[in-house]
Amino acid sequence: MGRSPEGARRGAWTAEEDKILSDYINKHGEGKWRNVPKQTGLRRCGKACRLRWFNYLRPDIKRGNITPDEVDLIIRLHKLLGNRWSLIAGRLPGRTDNEIKNYWNTNLAKREWRKESSVCQNEKMETAEAEFLQEPELKPRTDQDYDSNVAIVGSSYADLQQPPLNSTEENESNFLLDFDFDFEIGQITFSEFMDEDFTKSQLFEMNGLTSESAAFSSETTDTQVNWNACDFDKSSETDTPACSSEALWSYSDCFDVTLDSEQGSWRDFIDLAEECLIWD
DNA sequence: AATTAGATCAACCGCTTGTGG
DNA sequence: TCCACAAGCGGTTGATCTAAT
């Protein structure tokens, strides 16, 4: 869609316009936004109607200040996802992508930038490297953890932080710095996700692929993984403790994560996963 | 009280993606 | 496979508010 059609009103919405739009959506449901102005008489383009509904009129919109918990989550999600506001908003019930984007640009971006710039460049490099290479701190599992539906991820993923056992210095570096994957999950358990999807050898088996260097993909009934140029090899493991969590991780969006020294470590990713599990 | 600068956020715009014929 | 249309997304704009002078 391009510019607003000739004659369409622009600028702030009036209470009357809001009521007309709300009444229409409540009666007919969302969708067919182009029809909305025609059928309601609103002098707004369909796109503007959609935006107004999603960002302001929806009944489940949460009003009021962003809480410290939400701020923390936004920062962590942004670290992993970048400016993918819609994805970030999807993990903050009642918040819109526009709201989060505005909040980031007016509050957090500057704060994060100041934090970043206060660290000496050399120090920063050392810290990032140290964090990246650090062993993950595995949380002890307790009954309370299960009761509160907090997912505790076991040591099955700890191995993911390790370079391939037979790695050379060169591909170890690639593993740590250039690991890149896309995945799309319908609804699987976290243990399935961790134990199955991250096993390159299994994926190769599933696809009958043999080339270590080729990009490859796997499709099962509920999981799709596209994995590129990964040097990870888990096949040499003899004992992989099962992940303790049986919580479902429901995540229907395509979730792109690039794990490199700039964006974060495996630990960041696992932290994020835990956040998701707590909500679900 | 008036002016100005900076902050905020709703709304807009252009582009991309998804879908159906 | 192509095309047209609808929907979604993220960057940007500009009106309004607020604090400082």
Higher pLDDT, A51 or A8: A51
pLDDT given at position A7: 65
pLDDT given at position A198: 34
CA of A155 to C1' of C18 (A): 52
Mean pLDDT of A193-213: 33
User: Is the per-residue pLDDT at A45 higher than 70?
Assistant: yes
Between CA A74 and CA A85 the distance in angstroms is 9
Between CA A19 and CA A128 the distance in angstroms is 52
Chain A residues 133 to 162 whose Cβ lies within 7 Å of strand B are none
Nearest residue: Cα versus C1' of C13:
A11
User: Is the per-residue pLDDT at A61 higher than 50?
Assistant: yes
pLDDT given at position A135: 31
On average, the pLDDT of chain A sits at 52
Residue A43 banded pLDDT, cuts 50, 70, 90: confident
User: Which distant-in-sequence residues (6+ apart) come within 8 Å of A89 by Cβ?
Assistant: A95, A96, A97, A99, A100
Residues with CB under 7 A from strand C: A 1, 11-12, 31-34, 46-47, 50, 54, 83-87, 97-98, 101-102, 105
For A101-111, the pLDDT digits (tens) are: 888 888 877 66
User: Is the per-residue pLDDT at A31 higher than 70?
Assistant: yes
pLDDT given at position A47: 86
Q: Which nucleotides of B are covered by protein (CB under 7 A)?
A: 7-16
CA of A10 to C1' of B11 (A): 8
User: Is the per-residue pLDDT at A192 higher than 60?
Assistant: no
CA distances to A73, A104, A107, A229, A271 from A66, in Å? 11, 11, 11, 39, 20
Residue A194 banded pLDDT, cuts 50, 70, 90: very low
Chain A residues 222 to 241 whose Cβ lies within 7 Å of strand B are none
For A220-270, the pLDDT digits (tens) are: 222 223 222 222 222 323 222 222 222 222 222 223 333 333 334 444 444
Mean pLDDT of A82-108: 83
Higher pLDDT, A141 or A71: A71
For each of the domains in chain A, give its residue range(s) and CATH number, in order of start.
15-57 (1.10.10), 68-117 (1.10.10.60), 145-279 (no CATH)
Higher pLDDT, A227 or A24: A24
Any strand B atom closer than 7 Å to A252 CB? no
